[in-house]
Amino acid sequence: MLLSLNEGKEIVELARKIIESHLKEEEMPEISEGVKGTMEEKKGVFVTLNKGKELRGCIGRPMPNQKLKEGLEDAAIDAATGDPRFSPLGLEELGEVTVEVSVLTTPGKIEVEDPKKYREEVEIGRDGLIVSYRGRNGLLLPQVPLDRGWDAEEFLSQTCMKAGATPDCWLDRDVEIQKFSAQVFKEEGPGGEVVEESLSS
């Protein structure tokens, strides 16, 4: 079931409060009645932090193995302090970053007889990808190829590299590729109005 814009706004605001509470070493914020039911559903979720136009942290839970409230808390804290690509976010820096939350559908395996057909099964602006190859996984959210101007083949190649594989690993018959979609809600500025991002090619 799709989230409403109001639910999306509350979830983004909650993610910011979670990060702030964690950095201040305070108790986690309460969930409002408006999203309590939604937060009990099991969903994959990612939290992305941006500073200006630069990524500042992005961590998530791709599979719907946790209730959304638990996944959101884990992802928000990890995006702020546990992304190995960045130093932990400081409390003084929180006012300089925008918060974005992506709520994922359940990933499904793409079935093709010829690996070259993967390009036809990937729709830019709708699909996110997970590549699993030789025990390693790489994931890119649906908004990434839109931001970078990639076509389907480049998107497949970049997801392979995210898995630590060669760019053409998607042509190997041993690879497994899954796709998913996402609802993306983000602040227009640090702590600002929350909007739903329209993902379209």
Please give the share of the chain, as a percent, with pLDDT higher than 90: 94
Domains observed in the chain: 5-104 (3.30.700.20), 108-180 (3.30.1490.150)
Q: State the average pLDDT over residues 37-60.
A: 95
- Residue 41 in this model has a pLDDT that exceeds 90: yes
Query: How many other C-beta atoms can be found within 10 angstroms of the C-beta atom of residue 124?
Result: 18
pLDDT mean across residues, the chain: 95
**Contact (Cβ atoms closer than 8 angstroms) between residue 179 and residue 155:** no
What residues form DSSP beta bridges with 155?
none
- Residue 201 in this model has a pLDDT that exceeds 70: no
- Distant-in-sequence, close-in-space partners of 117: CB < 8 Å, separation ≥ 6: none
- Which DSSP letter does residue 100 get? E
- Which DSSP letter does residue 139 get? E
- What are the structure tokens assigned to 24, written together? 């201040």
**Contact (Cβ atoms closer than 8 angstroms) between residue 107 and residue 52:** no
Of the pLDDT bands very low, low, confident and very high (cuts 50, 70, 90), residue 2 is confident
| DSSP output for 158-199 | HHHHHTTS-TTGGGSTT-EEEEE-EEEEEESSTT--EEEEP-
Query: What gap in Å lies between CA 189 and CA 201, rounded to an integer?
Result: 24
Nearest by Cα to 199 from 137, 135, 146: 146
- What's the whole-model pTM score? 0.92
**Contact (Cβ atoms closer than 8 angstroms) between residue 48 and residue 147:** no
What residues form DSSP beta bridges with 139?
130
Query: What gap in Å lies between CA 17 and CA 5, rounded to an integer?
Result: 18
Query: What gap in Å lies between CA 64 and CA 71, rounded to an integer?
Result: 9
Ordered alpha helix ranges (H), 4-151: 5-24, 33-39, 68-81, 118-121, 143-148
pLDDT in tens, 142-183: 999 998 999 999 999 999 999 999 999 999 999 999 999 999
